[in-house]
Structure 1
Amino acid sequence: MHSAQPPIPANEMERIIELSELDLDYSSLQDQFKELTTLAAKVAGTNISLINLIDSYTSWTIANHGLAIEQLPRQEVVCQYTLVEEEKLEIKDLSADDRFKDKGYVSGELGLRYYLGIPLKTATGNHIGSLCVLDKETKPLSPEKVEMLKIIAGEIVNRLQTYKLIHTLQATMNEAIESKLRVAHDIRGPIGGIIGLAGIICEQGDKTTLATVLNFISIIHKSGNSILELANEILSTETAKRNQASVEAHQFNQLTLKDKLEKLYTPQAVNKGIDFVITTHYQTEVIPFPKNKLLQIIGNLISNSMKFTPIGGKVSVGLNVKSGSEENILHFTVQDTGIGMPADKVQSILEGEGVSTNGTQGEQGYGFGLALVKHLVDSLKGEMKITSQPNHGTIFEIFIPDKKANLNLEQSTLSASLVLTS
């Protein structure tokens, strides 16, 4: 049995864009937010407290107290209704509410009754999720306790935005390191040329009586060598640091991305009885690339495919990197055996329009998931292709450019030396 279409925030597209801009890995935040859920439960006097971030398809529980849960379909959670409330949503008896009385967490063994949710409101006014407290017994909260929960909700948003700032600073730092590498690279050519020229003059210098000039050139030669060694040291040290830290801090490769996607979306596949497979390209699977928005892009495509694929169907994800001289092309595919789409709907998606349709098991549509993907791909100067026919499944293809530094230093120095000595 499926309830009526829930309310959708008037600013839904802006809301999910702002959530995606945080660029979060929903499975890695429990330790950072656990104490806030414990505090919320203590303040409310409830057994359960959850922090839920809600995208187009899924309610992601990034931290929990009293209930081990990581995700639920958006249509199943009470918190989706909190998104459209200005201050709070309080339901004193879930079993007496037609929207929730048949949900498993109400009618089943868990037997939840009381719910109070506080929207996680950003500075721009968008509600990206909810801090909620739940219990098996009705526990109306005093205005003072509600205000304390609002303070905790504000701290949650502050921390999320702090993480975004940290990621931005990391990207800036990496750009600074890249600039340093380029500076070191740029000085190698002229310094190498000076050394080569000084060497030639030194070789020919025994034929002249200009001892002072030769002595001066010898000093230049030694100094040039020292500078070149320093440049080499900067390059080798910073490259080692960059390669060691960047893959861990702000990059994926195909193997790490595959592991993350399996952890996040296998539960959805198991819940619906869908075969979920992710493949990598063995020749390029360890090449690093930026994490930037990839979980949001591929994750939304996976959720969409699972929504429109019937029980017993299959969703396949392909990860690949096409290596080029100046930039790599990230190539991702998400293919399903679902109900497919007519040409006009494909065109609407490629034009960035939201199209809301219920899934094969009655999953409710919110209409913005694929529009968000198109927006994110465009923001990364990428391309999105869709191949689909009704009753013949759908293939989504994403192409994203990844510029890379072409620091072929030895070749550059050799070329400069050849020019000077020819």
Structure 2
Amino acid sequence: MQSAPLHPNEDQRLQSLLRLEVLDTEDERAFDELTELASTICGTSISLISLVDSDRQWFKSRVGLGAKETPRSLAFCAHAILQDEVFEVPDALQDSRFVDNPLVTQEPDIRFYAGAPLKAEDGMPLGTLCVIDQQPKQLSAEQRRALEVLSRQVISQLTLRLHTRKLERINRERDRFFAMISHDLRSPFNNILGFTKIMSQRADSLKPAQIVEFSKDILSGAMRVYQLLDELLQWSKQRLGGVACDLQRHNAVDLIDSTLPLVEDAAKLKSIEIKRDTDTDVYVTADATLAKTVIRNLLSNAIKYSDKGSCITLQAVNVGDVVELSVADTGAGISEELASRLFDGCVESIAGTEGESGSGLGLSLCQGFAQMQQGAMRYDASYTEGSRFIFSLPAA
């Protein structure tokens, strides 16, 4: 028995397969109908949609076979994915590669096999639509053509299935997001309306110190509203594909310094000092707008979860072929359980040290914007003095 060698681009092939999010899912009628049609057209007792995983072939749909998977080392389909066209074995007992294969010598007693590769959009073969019989035979030209056409329909269904799943996730995230936004907007708006009403009705009797205090509260509420609406706009643009990425060479210090004024008011309200600790000759390949958006979001979070009078440290250092921009605070830190979910879309927002609200989307947006710039985002679990987030970009 000859097991098939690995595909020349095996890692890329497996990545393409995993991106479909289909392995080990339930049977679905759309796929079962295609295997039934393949079996009928080719006149075989067995038809399978077989996806070749790292060490197994798993069947998304099967007609005439009870098993849900078999070892890759025995798989005819592992040979088929190495071909560009239909791979056909007229009589396995007459083929040295398969004559002693347990799938031939034992149940299901394969004699005939024909498999059309299932190719992803990037050209990687993921598996096959195959037909199998217990009697030797050979497909006609029309049957081979039909099997190829049906294999493309399988890929179309897999792609449609993935897009549908993504859309469902986006819709769930959207519904949750808008529910959180509507809830979180009420509190700062009520504060703004309440304080402005008091000031308008009692302006003549209020002391200067009271006016200053009310003004600070109004500013704080307005800034919270602005942050929530800004995250809503960023989320909408990202989901609708309206965010462009223009990668250029930028000085990291320039990106940081042009961002700091946007968070100064929030920091002053809590008497928080922001220290920038970086060399002046650190350069990155980035989109200036997206990079500054990420930095601003990280700083806003750090301010939100820092105590009054504390300090936030912002650094930019070269680490090999990347530059790591980090924002560290001295707040309460993040639990291990929450840290594991920080970048999983919309997570529940935790109130800041002064009761500041949020959408729970900021870090997910930051991660998406980082990846658009060929960068990355991570939480530094080894930092014990508070929270530290690291935004890495390619060094220029």
Aligned partner of 1:263 in structure 2 is none
Is contact 1:48-1:134 (8 Å) kept?
Answer: yes
Is contact 1:61-1:71 (8 Å) kept?
Answer: yes
SS in 2 for 1:130: strand
User: Which residue identity is paired with 2:340?
Assistant: I
Aligned partner of 2:347 in structure 1 is 405
Q: Spell out, residue by residue over 1:260-302, the C-alpha distance to the aligned partner (whole angstroms, 9 max, x if none).
A: xxxxxxxxxxxxxxxxxxxxxxxxxxxxxxxxxxxxxxxxxxx
Is contact 1:189-1:412 (8 Å) kept?
Answer: no
Normalised by the length of structure 2, the TM-score is 0.51
Shift in alpha-carbon separation, 1:326–1:6, aligned structure 2, 3 A:
closer
Q: 1-side partners of 2:170 and 2:23: how far apart?
A: 20
Q: What is the aligned counterpart of 1:55 among 53, 56, 68? A: 53
Shift in alpha-carbon separation, 1:188–1:326, aligned structure 2, 3 A:
farther
Offset of 1:70 from its aligned partner?
0.4
Higher helix share: 1
Shift in alpha-carbon separation, 1:27–1:325, aligned structure 2, 3 A:
closer
Please list, as runs of the form range in 1=range in 2, the aligned pairs for 1:263-302 lying within 5 A after superposition.
none
SS in 2 for 1:46: coil
Unaligned stretches of 5+ in structure 1? Answer: 208-322, 331-399, 416-422
Q: 2-side partners of 1:104 and 1:402: how far apart?
A: 44
Offset of 1:198 from its aligned partner?
6.8
Aligned partner of 1:329 in structure 2 is 340
Offset of 1:171 from its aligned partner?
3.3
Normalised by the length of structure 1, the TM-score is 0.48
Is contact 2:74-2:102 (8 Å) kept?
Answer: no
Is contact 1:326-1:406 (8 Å) kept?
Answer: no
Give the % identical residues. Answer: 29
Aligned partner of 1:70 in structure 2 is 68
Offset of 1:405 from its aligned partner?
3.1
Verify: 1:45 aligned to 2:56, yes or no. Answer: no
Verify: 1:131 aligned to 2:129, yes or no. Answer: yes
Aligned partner of 1:166 in structure 2 is 164
The higher relative CO (CA closer than 8 Å, separation ≥ 6) is in: 1
Is contact 2:80-2:117 (8 Å) kept?
Answer: yes
Q: Spell out, residue by residue over 1:97-135, the C-alpha distance to the aligned partner (whole angstroms, 9 max, x if none).
A: 222222222112532211111101123211100111111
Aligned residues: 233
SS in 1 for 2:123: coil
Aligned partner of 2:375 in structure 1 is none
Offset of 1:170 from its aligned partner?
2.6
Aligned partner of 1:146 in structure 2 is 144
SS in 2 for 1:117: strand
Unaligned stretches of 5+ in structure 2? Answer: 206-333, 358-396
Aligned partner of 2:25 in structure 1 is 27
Offset of 1:30 from its aligned partner?
4.1
Q: 1-side partners of 2:186 and 2:130: how far apart?
A: 59
Q: Spell out, residue by residue over 1:149-175, the C-alpha distance to the aligned partner (whole angstroms, 9 max, x if none).
A: 111110000010111111222333344
User: Which residue identity is paired with 1:117?
Assistant: G
Offset of 1:202 from its aligned partner?
10
User: Which residue identity is paired with 1:169?
Assistant: L
User: Which residue identity is paired with 2:112?
Assistant: Y
Q: 1-side partners of 2:87 and 2:95: how far apart?
A: 13
Q: What is the aligned counterpart of 2:119 among 101, 121, 126? A: 121
